[in-house]
């Protein structure tokens, strides 16, 4: 139904990277939050090939609200490796790829801020595709709940009948699981958008 509104998903390349982050909180008067975990899912030939999650020691404390979302405490995060020591591995995944992010206007600026703050180099990427924004027209036509950013990952997971990885993880958000979930959604949306 409303396949034509999913056309943008049919334009995704066969190979791309999905990225997600869990953070210390939301942007505030002190700037952007720090990354606590960063998940990457690799899509090759329209199939999920691999998922990896990087645990990153934040400089800022994790807010109570953020902790309730992803379940990571300040004590746990203090044991993680710093961002700069893991950046080379992360950058290798991103190099030359289209980056798909559900709510790119949140995650991407935070990643760029980290790269800049630590004086690191960002590899060239093909671009950034926001799966949340891309799904707005279809979700609205389907009368699905949407924020101004678009339909949530949970909403799309439910309506598309995709396995809920959060439910298997006590309903907590995880960057690795959420990047995997976004990849699944993007591929189902692609298939649903193909006009026979």
Residue 19, classified by CB atoms within 10 Å of its CB into exposed (0-12), middle (13-18) or buried (19+), is buried
For residue range 5-55, list pLDDT tens digits in order: 999 999 999 999 999 999 999 999 889 999 999 999 999 999 999 999 999
Q: Which CATH number covers residue 151? A: 3.30.420.10
Q: Given pLDDT bands bounded at 50, 70 and 90, which one contains residue 135?
A: very high
185 C-beta neighbours (distance < 10 Å), count: 25
Q: Is 98 helix (H, G, I), strand (E, B) or coil?
A: strand
Q: Residue 71's domain spans which residues? A: 3-193
Number of domains in the chain: 1
For residue range 175-189, list pLDDT tens digits in order: 999 999 999 999 999
CA distances from 186 to 27, 84, 133 (A): 27, 30, 12
Round the average pLDDT of the chain to a whole number and report it: 94
Q: Give pTM, 2 decimals.
A: 0.95
Whose tokens are 């899912």? That residue is 41
């Amino acid at each position: 139904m409303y396949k034509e509104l999913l056309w943008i998903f049919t334009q995704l390349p066969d190979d791309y990277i999905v990225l997600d982050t869990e953070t210390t909180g939301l942007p505030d008067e002190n700037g952007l939050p720090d990354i606590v975990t960063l998940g990457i899912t690799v899509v090759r030939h329209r199939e999920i090939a691999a998922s990896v999650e990087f645990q990153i020691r934040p400089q800022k404390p994790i807010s109570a609200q953020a902790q309730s979302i992803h379940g990571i405490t300040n004590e746990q995060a203090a044991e993680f490796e710093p961002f700069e020591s893991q950046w080379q591995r992360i950058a290798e995944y991103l190099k030359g790829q289209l980056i798909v992010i559900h709510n790119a206007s949140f995650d991407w600026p935070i990643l760029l801020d980290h790269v800049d703050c630590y004086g690191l180099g960002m590899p060239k990427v093909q671009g950034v595709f926001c799966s949340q924004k891309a799904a707005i027209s279809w979700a609205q036509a389907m009368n699905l709940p949407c924020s101004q950013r678009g339909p949530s990952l949970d909403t799309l997971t439910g309506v598309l009948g995709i396995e809920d990885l959060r439910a298997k993880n006590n309903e907590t958000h995880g960057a690795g699981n959420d990047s995997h979930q976004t990849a699944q959604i993007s591929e189902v949306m692609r298939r649903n958008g193909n006009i026979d």
